[in-house]
Chain A
Amino acid sequence: KQEVTQIPAALSVPEGENLVLNCSFTDSAIYNLQWFRQDPGKGLTSLLLIQSSQREQTSGRLNASLDKSSGRSTLYIAASQPGDSATYLCAVRRRRDDKIIFGKGTRLHILP
């Protein structure tokens, strides 16, 4: 059974700091891993998609890494801004049945 765990569940950091969000998954047989952002009351916004053959993806101040062997991914946010405040979700697509499994998310609050 594929489980996706995100730690911490909530995080508050002062503006300008660099931070790391963690995602772990139990079954390493995945097609890809995706990071999303969700603002309160809104749908999900895809941030980064990492294919199973890739080690990392970068977009602006965001960098996501993938280590399949250890079942871990991290989302690194550089120079955090108040606008980064949101819930960040990690999801994997597993090979066995092509299902997408989401973590519960990390609620991030950037303090002005």
Chain B
Amino acid sequence: ETGVTQTPRHLVMGMTNKKSLKCEQHLGHNAMYWYKQSAKKPLELMFVYNFKEQTENNSVPSRFSPECPNSSHLFLHLHTLQPEDSALYLCASSQDQSVTQYFGPGTRLLVL
């Protein structure tokens, strides 16, 4: 058990749907991250939050909208996605941005 949980574990959605991914960490960390892992590509960092404030947005399309209501919870709101957005979405947390990150199990997303 890593202390970082993600729900749902699997999600299938149409291009017109709106859905949200949830991440929760029970480690008392201050930084949280969203990553995207597409098949045969390196892991891509999407967003970084530090003390609930977004500190990094790696040119992610606006159809992905993150939300961090507190240091323990991180959401990724999805709307009007494209089939190429199908991937494994991983959440991670760390005490601060310079130390080891702990990853959740990921949400495997399929956009039809």
Chain A interfacial positions (CB closer than 8 Å to B) = 4, 31-32, 34, 36, 41-46, 49, 89, 91, 93, 98-105
Chain B interface residue number, banded: 20 to 34
CB pair B56 A32 closer than 8 Å: no
Inter-chain contacts of B64 with A (CB < 8 A): none
* A43 and B105 alpha carbons, distance in the complex (Å): 4
Name B's interface SS. loop
Residues of A within 8 A of B55 (CB): 98
Given A49-B99, A100-B45, 12 more pairs with CB closer than 8 A: A42-B105, A43-B4, A43-B104, A44-B43, A44-B103, A46-B100, A46-B101, A46-B102, A98-B55, A99-B45, A102-B43, A104-B41
Most chain A CB atoms below 10 A, which of B43, B45, B103: B43
| Contacts A31-B98, A45-B2 given; does A99 touch B104 at CB 8 Å | no
Instruction: Give which listed residue, B4, B56, B90, B101, contacts A34 with CB less than 8 A.
Output: B101
Verify if B66 is at the interface (C-beta below 8 Å from A). Answer: no
Instruction: Establish whether residues A44 and B90, one from each chain, have CB atoms under 8 Å apart when the complex forms.
Output: yes
Judge whether A99 and B56 touch: CB under 8 Å.
yes
Least Cβ–Cβ distance between A97 and chain B, in angstroms: 8
Chain A residues, Cβ within 8 Å of B58: 99
Majority secondary structure, A binding face: strand
Closest 3 CB pairs of A and B: A102-B43, A44-B103, A43-B103
Contact B56 A91 (CB under 8 A): no
Complexed CA–CA distance, A44 and B98 (Å) = 17
Given contacts A103-B42, A104-B42, contact A34 B106 (CB under 8 A): no
> A43-B106, A44-B103, A46-B103 in contact; A91/B90 too (CB < 8 A)?
no
